[in-house]
A and B are shown apart, each in its own frame.
Chain A
Amino acid sequence: MIQSGRMFHSDVLLLDLEDSVPLTDKLAARILVREALEHLTFENEVMVRINHFPLGRRDLKEIVCERLDSILYPKCESVHDIEEVKDVLQKLEKNYAIDKEIEIVAVIETAKGCLHCEEIAHGPRVTALTFGAEDFIADIGGIRSQESLFFLKSMVAISAASAGIQALDTVYPYIDDDEGLKKEAEESKKMGFCGKGAIHPRQLSIINSVFTPSQEEIAWAQKVISVMKEAEEKGMASAALDGRMIDTPTLKKARRITAIAEVIS
């Protein structure tokens, strides 16, 4: 139950009101989420996946409260979808005297959504993009594979980067396949994703190990920063490190690594 989820030290705890809840149970589910938000303590960021509007309006009316950090909004197809959600959030935050701005994480899971990724990423309150593999594959009439998801994943990662927000990888559904999970997470990291959803707590340590900068990476990053600082002082925009040319893009990568390392520690 919800109370167990709290202790697994994930960065975000996601409570679902959408696909895992049958229509007949949605009312009870959103009331349960509200009670949990009001009476349990959570260390992690708390995110709720609401239903796509219009049903989602009822979800928000019920669950918007002080402890809610973010909304996962499914099947985003345009920035208009985001603006709709933002309007409702704004109204409810005012009516309930909530002193925060609840964030939005947009899920791209249709062909149309994929083609509107960039505008969605730039939408108000959107702090991250993610994608839904199964729905997307169903929408395009394809078969799930690395190839068939490549374009979607690229669009998500690139759009997120263009808006300066995070790209989050989707869940790996095979709970006992540690190797497969690691491989998929590593592939996503290469593409620019900075985190991944877990469908079971035992997946957390593997995901963290992939996305957390290693000691070697941090040491390398610190070296890059100091070497580039020296170069800058000499009036140069590039330098050599370990037999390789490094310049602004490398510095940007190094700064990202140290920033993540700092947040984690």
Chain B
Amino acid sequence: MKQVVNAVGRTVPEKIRGIQYTPFKGAFATPPTGKKHAPPMRAVNPGESKLIDLEDAIKTYVKDGMTISFHHHLRNGDFLVNEVLQIAAELGKKDLVLASTALFPCHEPVVEHMKAGVIRRIEGSMNGPVGKACSYGHMKEIATLRDHGGRARAVECGDLPIDVAFIAAPAADDYGNCNGVYGPSACGPLAYSHADSLYADMVIVVTDNLVEFPCVPISIPQITVDHIAEIGVLGDSQQIVSGTTQVTRSPTNIQIAEYVVETIDTLGMIQDGMSFQAGAGGISLSVTAQLGALMEDRKVVGSFGLGGVTKYLVDLLEKGVIKKIIDGQCFDLPSVASLRDDPRHQEISMLYSSAHTKGSIYNKLDLVFLGATEVDVNFNVNVNTHSDGLLLHGIGGHQGPAASADVTFITAPLYRNRIPIIRKEVTTVSTPGEVVDVVVTEYGIAVHPKRKDILQKVKKTHIPVYGIEELQQEAYALCGEPQSPELSEDIIALIQWRDGTLLDTVKRVKED
């Protein structure tokens, strides 16, 4: 296999499965070419029913070797992926490509389907057991991981052609209009599915809550939907959205959040009209809460907050600290209710995250604070693999906001369970260092050398500022230098940058 070294110093293949890949050249170095993918034209005439039995749908439309897709708005409470794959397996379907926007621990049955040959490849994020199985080489073909925007882009341009899209819809009518804000399995937006609904050859909405026509509000419109199937339960509501999300109580994480907020303040970014992306991780929530409190105190009004949405962001909207919420994902009940009832809280398609549209939503962000599994001395970030080489997480919504926000913060403790998070080299590059501005640990912050403007301002404060190498040396001094994991030369997954270029590869881990 011919390989090249890309712009972030990683060796990547030029061709996989006969498809030519462009190596990563720079965050904004590869513009789009060509036209959008186009599914076939179809007509549904008066009197024709779109309703279908789920099993019949799979029997009729899913053929061996096809690519089927799902969204992950139901998170770890999803039942649909397992149900469809179970039916497909029983019908003897083989060699499918699973293009779910993400997979969770509840999707562990996928591992068996992989081993049994029902699934030959996964295009999309993998969490926990599925990622682990992929790491050990149990997937027939090399997987591809993309961030949310990158996947939407791939669907839109035809890099990821979807044969059958299954859209779990908490509320739907018999013509396919659907949303995620009503019903027992309410989850919030249906953002992840939007690109699939436009570009998949066959679109099947699956619901446990068939409502009288027309189903409003309309997240996915009837004109894109081929069939609607009704099933008993879409998912476990307790696991879809948690009753409450809680700010971290970990002193380390609170300290990190404090440094983030102090730096934001020092940079003079707490101003009317400001915008930021919130998150649902422990540190992000703490930053959101602290930032909001500071804004409220100073009577500063932000223009918008970008989801992942939790009650903390909704709180800011209701207090008038931010004017609007733009939402691609809800994490708790209060945020679902807010999306449903508050006109200032707007759902967007995941195409808004794509780099190759007429302006992604991230272009409008002042601030973003993201996590990391590893960060290296070149500011490269890993969110996919653990330091032992195992593929345990998808890229999520990391690359887009990191690349586009005015100031990108990467937050992480210096080390976790003896494993240094700040290290000499990341195991996998998920986001390249060139887009990272500030790394924040509980020890202090490190500013990317290209951001002399930030460095100048923070040097005057009492925020502890270190060189990134100093943080790495501190981590290694405490933990000791980690051994390199035993990885084979076989590639089991590709990491794509949001523009479709190849950022890195993930190697197989020897199973014990």
Is chain B's binding surface mostly helix, strand, loop or mixed? helix
Q: Does B442 contact A (CB under 8 A)?
A: yes
B-chain residues with CB within 8 Å of residue A4 when the two chains form the complex: 251-252
- C-alpha spacing A225/B254, complex, angstroms: 40
In-complex Cβ contact of A3 among B251, B254, B255, B478 (8 A): B478
Chain B interface category by residue count: under 10
Q: Which of A199-243 contact B (CB under 8 A)?
A: 200-202
In-complex Cβ contact of A202 among B251, B442, B478 (8 A): B251
A-chain residues with CB within 8 Å of residue B443 when the two chains form the complex: 7
By beta carbon, the residue of chain B nearest A40 is: B478
Q: Mark B304-316, 1 if CB is under 8 A from A, else 0.
A: 0000000000000
Q: Which of B470-495 contact A (CB under 8 A)?
A: 478
A-chain residues with CB within 8 Å of residue B442 when the two chains form the complex: 7
Chain A interface category by residue count: under 10
Q: Which of B396-450 contact A (CB under 8 A)?
A: 442-443
A-chain residues with CB within 8 Å of residue B255 when the two chains form the complex: 7-8, 201
How close is A56's CB to chain B, nearest CB, in angstroms?
A: 29
Q: Is the CB of A8 within 8 A of B478?
A: no
Q: Mark A187-204, 1 if CB is under 8 A from B, else 0.
A: 000000000000011100
Additional pairs, 8, CB under 8 Å, beyond known A7-B442, A201-B251, A201-B254: A4-B251, A4-B252, A7-B252, A7-B255, A8-B255, A40-B478, A201-B255, A202-B254
- C-alpha spacing A201/B478, complex, angstroms: 21
User: What is A's interface to B at a CB cutoff of 8 Å?
Assistant: 3-4, 7-8, 40, 200-202
How close is B471's CB to chain A, nearest CB, in angstroms?
A: 12
- C-alpha spacing A200/B251, complex, angstroms: 8
- C-alpha spacing A4/B255, complex, angstroms: 11
B-chain residues with CB within 8 Å of residue A201 when the two chains form the complex: 251, 254-255
Q: Which of B246-275 contact A (CB under 8 A)?
A: 251-252, 254-255
- C-alpha spacing A77/B443, complex, angstroms: 40
- C-alpha spacing A40/B477, complex, angstroms: 9
- C-alpha spacing A202/B478, complex, angstroms: 24
By beta carbon, the residue of chain A nearest B477 is: A41
By beta carbon, the residue of chain B nearest A5 is: B251
- What would 16 A/B residue contacts be, using CB atoms closer than 8 Å? A3-B478, A4-B251, A4-B252, A7-B252, A7-B255, A7-B442, A7-B443, A8-B251, A8-B255, A40-B478, A200-B251, A201-B251, A201-B254, A201-B255, A202-B251, A202-B254
- C-alpha spacing A3/B252, complex, angstroms: 11
By beta carbon, the residue of chain A nearest B443 is: A7
B-chain residues with CB within 8 Å of residue A40 when the two chains form the complex: 478
- C-alpha spacing A3/B417, complex, angstroms: 12
A-chain residues with CB within 8 Å of residue B252 when the two chains form the complex: 4, 7
A-chain residues with CB within 8 Å of residue B254 when the two chains form the complex: 201-202
